[in-house]
Amino acid sequence: MRVPSDREIRDLHAEHAPTREAFDLVHTHCAIVAGIAEQLLSRRPEAADPDVVRAGSLLHDIGVYRLYDHGGKLDHERYVRHGVLGRDLLAEQGYPDALGRFCSCHTGMGITREDIRAQGLPVPPGDYVAESAEEELVMFADKFHSKAGPPVLVSPATAAARLSRFGAEKELRFKALLAKYGEPDLRPFHEAHGHEVV
């Protein structure tokens, strides 16, 4: 699989972002997740392909752009769809499903068919769960930054508490990955972007 360069991915973001503000929000988030994933991967270099992890991190939220209307307003009610929308966007652009899965399989600690049924989620039935080491790492790194206004860096305790709202198994999965990869150092991202740690 040919892995797109940072520049190609940035251009793809710029092409699909409806406004400069949307681009800044989503692309910055993806870049922060890529930095966190890189930091975590440095502790377990045998775990995953670093080029694939970087590309997956930079692409994972590209579907968010499809939830903006022409006026630049984000559809929060259907936000959970951003993963499948991103997978579809990448497929339309000719990218392999191996990259599209970073979009569809990073939400929460994964969304199962049962989650969709039980919560009435507006997502096509299926299991959207990280399977590869690369997908797992991007999903985990994503939990440490939030685009919510204003964007914030998320401590492990806050991430675990947020995930517990969706079931004890989601929190336990997060804690298992925390034991596996360790806690990221969020200070460099705070210093670079000014986002507070919550």
Structure confidence by residue, pLDDT tens digits, 81-138:
999 999 999 999 999 999 999 999 999 999 999 999 999 999 999 999 999 999 999 9
Rounded CA-CA distance 137/160 in Å is 16
Per-residue model confidence (pLDDT) at position 44: 80
Distances (CA, A) of 67 to 18, 90, 138: 10, 15, 21
Is the confidence at residue 45, as pLDDT, over 80?
A: no
Mean pLDDT for all residues in the chain: 96
Per-residue model confidence (pLDDT) at position 1: 86
Cβ atoms of residues 78 and 122 within 8 Å = yes
Which residue from 29, 43, 152, 82 is spatially nearest to 162, judged by alpha carbons?
152
Per-residue model confidence (pLDDT) at position 81: 97
Beta bridge partners of 17: none
Cβ atoms of residues 108 and 172 within 8 Å = no
Strands (E), the chain: 145-146, 152-153
Per-residue model confidence (pLDDT) at position 47: 73
